[in-house]
Amino acid sequence: MTIKDAQITVDEWIKTVGVRYFNELTNMAMLTEEVGEVARIIARRYGEQSEKESDKQKDLGDEMADVLWVLICLANQTGIDLTEAFQKNLDKKNIRDATRHLSNEKLK
């Protein structure tokens, strides 16, 4: 599935099953909540915090997909073509960071 396909799929789902988009502020709060769930799993599974028994059942991929879902909702609501935006962002990084990381002693 391409990013464009994902945007179309989410839009169709929202309009048929979800009835309508939540407003942008609600979706922003939901995005923050979903990122927090990803952070919790990462901090406990890969960081120094101990993982609770109830956290061991959490599916990191599913939580990341929740983040992507809400991000796509926000993009759809605000008229952002994520394929185009991602390509522009990648182009920017390729120009700005062409040698930056290669010459960073901390990364060697």
Identity of the amino acid at 48 = E
pLDDT at site 80: 98
What is the rounded CA–CA span in Å between residue 77 and residue 15?
Answer: 12
Predicted confidence pLDDT, tens digits, the chain (108 residues) = 999 999 999 999 999 999 999 999 999 999 999 999 999 999 999 999 898 888 889 999 999 999 999 999 999 999 999 999 999 999 999 999 888 888 888 888
3-81: CATH superfamily: MazG-like (1.10.287.1080)
Show me where the domains of the chain are located: 3-81
What is the rounded CA–CA span in Å between residue 37 and residue 15?
Answer: 26
Rounded-to-10 torsion of CA 62, 2, 29, 27 = -120
